[in-house]
Amino acid sequence: MPADSLALAAPTSSPRYCGVLVRLENSVLAMLFAAAVALPLAEIALRALVGAGIQGVATLVQHLTLALAMLGAAVAAREERLLSLAVTGWYRGKADAAARFACGVIAAAVAGLLGVAAIEFVAAEQAADGTLVYRIPVWVAELPLPLGFALIALRLAWHSAAGPGGRMAALAAAAIAVAALRLLPFDPAQALSPALLVLGAAMLLGAPIFAVLGGAALFLLLAQGVPAASTAVNHYSLVVNPSLPAIPMFTLAGYLLAESGAPRRLVEVFGALFGRLRGGAVVVTVLACTFFTCFTGASGVTILALGGLIMPLLGAAGSPQSKSLGLVTAAGLPGVLLMPALPLILYAIVAKVSIEEMFLGGVLPAMLMVAIVLGWGMLGQPAVATSAGPFDARRARAALAAAKWELSLPLVPTIALASGLATPVEAAALTALYAFFVASIAHRDLHLARDIPRVMAECGLLIGGILLILGVALGLTNFLVDAQIPEQMVGWVTGAIREPWLFLLALNLLLLAAGCVMDIYTAIVVLAPLVTPIGLAFGVHPVHLGIVFLANLELGYLTPPVGMNLFFASYRFGRPVVEVFRAVAPFFLALCLGVLAITYLPWLSLALPTLRS
């Protein structure tokens, strides 16, 4: 089972590393993040004040994002938090040590190969002698690629064994593998099948997902006679995409909210407004979880962050424990369809769809999914105890006043984009600034010097881990495109399936299965380029296809037996996974109907984008 986009717990600096190095890396990561946010804000201010912005600001932000992503990935490797299949408990004793060593060496070797490919890419750029802005050489701005992969490789080998001897052996084995594959003559086509088998085995042993995807991309491209440096080119092109910096900035806004007292204040608001009604605790749960998920972009994180607040609330309202467990596990899913959820932005980038249209396209489907979860959650809810008393207007006013800043947060990107004041990246920077103001100034939940850098470093770790996967996955995607796999799939699917409704049904089943075993970000990068041309061949609007795509992948997180949110709920509440399966099953079936409605009623996704145009 792949990890969700956020880790289960906050990182703790590894005692294996010098504390000074840890603090230095975290500080640099926070400074890179601050600079990436500050530049678009300065651009907005200068444009408003003097009618001109900063020369090349978009290029600077894109390359700051590259440095942020690679350092964040290196920090994730330092903390052993690179995303991988969850195989904890599969192996015991010596088998566990052997599996750890094997997958660590393989992953370090792949990272080393990607680093060598990045060096070749940077060397080619140095020979071309190009510049970005302010006479900054292009190759200097690209240096984070090889440096980042080198750090990742070293740390993967370091963590593969416990003692100095084992670590040196792992480093030596990885170095020998890299040298052999780069220096010794061999036929990549003949080595392809053994290499893919080794990578598949490493995945089952717990190797990071980026190593599996990156290694597969490397060997597939080499087998086609494509230089290894093309993997670095693909990685670079994805991370410096003009729209991509919006992802870390919106993520930072969500992180600042999560680390502050915002979850508690939001639960209090919804509790004050709806908690005394029959089923009021259900309303509180669904609205709070949906709101929280749309900013974190991860429904699994919502379970972890809000579960401890909401489960007691549902219990006090008399909700049966099983139903409460299912509700909390499912309630955050609609938030992924609401702006500024990261999957919406990433899908728009990968599928080349307008971000604004994706934001608008998700509104009505999200409202439908919220209504379904609310409706099913309220069935069978007990009447509110008479001791609860009448609606307390004073409490409601106090709660609204306390949470007014958080509740206003969605207005910031909405107004910035709708008014034309800002681009999507600038709107994301404004949102991050607003969240910073709310957390550190308005409520003073986070200390400016002590907490803000820590939160920015933690957010950078997450972004680095995700963009590392997405960058190497793009190499795999481009191989599939170059091999004309999408065209072949279009021909095969249109030949085997004649009706659009049947194609959409098959797509639902495919994406539901993918959502079980892949994290949503990897699935978007790998599958969206394959699915989009098929959808166009059947006349499916790209925005409608995107919302169907995301809704299905999120539903996959609830699909037994390996849906990610089932395991997150089991972890958070200390319940057997089988018990979570049973609790979630009714919500899963109800949400299946919602996904079918989104699939076969395209106006749900297209009504608002059509009005805008």
The residue with tokens 């195989």 is: 87
Residue 340 has pLDDT above 90, yes or no: no
Q: What is the pLDDT of residue 332?
A: 86
Nearest of 31, 177, 184 to residue 110 by alpha carbon: 177
What pLDDT band is residue 613 in, cutting at 50, 70 and 90? low
Do 232 and 260 lie in one domain? The reply is no
User: Could you tell me if residue 4 is inside a domain?
Assistant: no
Q: What is the pLDDT of residue 39?
A: 95
Cα distance between residue 142 and residue 149, in whole Å: 12
Range with the largest mean pLDDT of 192-201, 248-257, 510-519: 192-201
User: Could you tell me if residue 186 is inside a domain?
Assistant: yes
| Residue 353, helix vs strand vs coil | coil
User: Could you tell me if residue 80 is inside a domain?
Assistant: no
Q: What is the DSSP string of 398-427?
A: HHHHHTHHHHHTTHHHHHHHHTTSS-HHHH
In 133-205, which ranges are E strands? none
User: Could you tell me if residue 513 is inside a domain?
Assistant: yes
Which distant-in-sequence residues (6+ apart) come within 8 Å of 368 by Cβ? 594, 597, 598, 604
What pLDDT band is residue 372 in, cutting at 50, 70 and 90? very high
Q: How confident is the model over 391-400, as a mean pLDDT? A: 86
Do 165 and 137 lie in one domain? The reply is yes
Q: How confident is the model over 28-42, as a mean pLDDT? A: 94
The answer to whether 580 and 570 are in contact (CB under 8 A) is yes
Which distant-in-sequence residues (6+ apart) come within 8 Å of 224 by Cβ? 479, 482, 483
- Show which of 176, 206, 239 is a domain's final residue: 239
Q: What is the pLDDT of residue 411?
A: 87
Nearest of 172, 199, 255 to residue 6 by alpha carbon: 255
User: Could you tell me if residue 9 is inside a domain?
Assistant: no
The answer to whether 517 and 560 are in contact (CB under 8 A) is no
Residue 42 has pLDDT above 90, yes or no: yes
Cα distance between residue 546 and residue 541, in whole Å: 9
Separation in Å, CA 172 to CA 169, 214, 313? 5, 21, 55
Greater model confidence, 380 or 2 = 380
Structure tokens at 106: 């393989």
Q: Please state, rounded to an integer, the average pLDDT across all residues of the chain.
A: 84
Domain containing 365 equals: 256-446
Residue 175 has pLDDT above 50, yes or no: yes
Residue 1 has pLDDT above 50, yes or no: no
User: Could you tell me if residue 287 is inside a domain?
Assistant: yes
Do 408 and 277 lie in one domain? The reply is yes
User: Could you tell me if residue 244 is inside a domain?
Assistant: no
Cα distance between residue 442 and residue 263, in whole Å: 15
What pLDDT band is residue 571 in, cutting at 50, 70 and 90? low
Do 265 and 125 lie in one domain? The reply is no
Q: What is the pLDDT of residue 387?
A: 42
The residue with tokens 């990261």 is: 342
User: Could you tell me if residue 13 is inside a domain?
Assistant: no
Residue 7 has pLDDT above 50, yes or no: no
Q: What is the pLDDT of residue 13?
A: 42
- Show which of 446, 467, 501 is a domain's final residue: 446
Do 543 and 601 lie in one domain? The reply is yes
Count Cβ atoms within 10 A of the Cβ of residue 418 and give its class: 0-12 exposed, 13-18 middle, 19 or more buried: middle
Q: What is the pLDDT of residue 518?
A: 67
Do 374 and 228 lie in one domain? The reply is no
What pLDDT band is residue 565 in, cutting at 50, 70 and 90? confident
Segment 189-229, tens digit of pLDDT: 888 889 899 998 888 887 888 999 899 989 998 888 888 88
Segment 432-465, tens digit of pLDDT: 999 999 999 999 999 998 899 999 998 898 889 8
What pLDDT band is residue 385 in, cutting at 50, 70 and 90? very low
Beta bridge partners of 235: none
Neighbours of 1 (CB within 10 A): 17
- Show which of 239, 274, 305 is a domain's final residue: 239
Q: How confident is the model over 424-429, as a mean pLDDT? A: 89
Q: What is the pLDDT of residue 9?
A: 35
Which distant-in-sequence residues (6+ apart) come within 8 Å of 253 by Cβ? 295, 340, 409, 428, 431, 432, 434, 435
Q: How confident is the model over 590-600, as a mean pLDDT? A: 93
Nearest of 3, 44, 36 to residue 419 by alpha carbon: 44
Cα distance between residue 503 and residue 508, in whole Å: 9
Number of domains in the chain: 3
Q: What is the pLDDT of residue 2?
A: 36
Asked which of 486-495, 532-541, 545-554 is least confident by mean pLDDT, the reply is: 486-495
What pLDDT band is residue 382 in, cutting at 50, 70 and 90? low
